[in-house]
Amino acid sequence: MSKLLHVSASPRGESSDSRALAGAFLDAHRRAHPEVAVEELDLFDGKLPAFGHLAAQAKMAVWGGGQPSAEQQGEWDAARAVFDRFAAADAYLFSVPMWNAGVPYALKQWIDIISQPGWLFSFTPDAGYSGLIRGKKAAVIYTSGVYQPGAPLPYGADFHAAFFNDWLRYAGFTDVAEIRWQPTVLTATRDTDKTAARQRAAEAGSRF
């Protein structure tokens, strides 16, 4: 059985716009593909390990062609468990709200945990970085409450989709679908726009 991993980067539960769109996507996907197992990963459930001094030292040891020390190994193993859960999926749905023009800190923490040499990427001086997550597809839901593409700069800038799309490329994804719902406070049709966004999410889920 193939597996779809939904990575949720919002702590707002049922109040979350990104989770609501993800729900529409997943409901449609389950109807279209009942053979696919869907797993939920809530990045705000408090279970992400810290990536502190020992883990960073372990990373640099591996980067240099060595092995983590006995003191570092436990934190390196904890990071590896997070990566293995990610890598075990065949396809991915990411629901990503905008926070302060960027991504929520828990998503950045998760990215920093799993983005390790030999796991997510390889590197050579001649070719640079090469993503190791190959042959898998991803869908991303981007939401924001104020920023909207084309809005004046006082309504925000996009270090949100720009950052996350670049990380997907860096990881090796080449098949990526985007669903956006980004109404600004200038938009008077929020409810209508949300209904249309849910429909787009459902259509994307059916096709995915």
Domains annotated for the chain, with CATH where assigned, are: 3-207 (3.40.50.360)
Q: Residue 188 — very low, low, confident or very high, per pLDDT cuts 50/70/90?
A: confident
Question: For 108-152, what is each residue's pLDDT tens digit?
Answer: 999 999 999 999 999 999 999 999 999 999 999 999 989 988 889
Question: In the chain, which ranges are continuous DSSP H helix?
Answer: 17-32, 53-63, 70-87, 105-114, 161-171, 190-207
Q: Positive or negative CA dihedral for 111, 116, 119, 124?
A: positive
Q: What pLDDT is recorded for position 190?
A: 82
Quick one: tokens of 190?
Answer: 């929020």
Rounded CA separation 20/141 (Å):
10
Question: For 14-71, what is each residue's pLDDT tens digit?
Answer: 899 999 999 999 999 999 999 999 999 999 999 999 999 999 999 999 988 899 999 9
Rounded CA separation 137/178 (Å):
11
pLDDT, average across residues 89-107: 97
pLDDT, average across residues 1-15: 94
pLDDT, average across residues 74-101: 97
Please state, rounded to an integer, the average pLDDT across all residues of the chain: 94
Torsion over CA of 192, 17, 40 and 44, rounded to 10 degrees? 180
Whether 9 contacts 187, CB under 8 Å: no
Burial class (CB in 10 A: 0-12, 13-18, 19+), 98: buried
Residue of 111, 96, 92 whose CA lies nearest to 12: 96
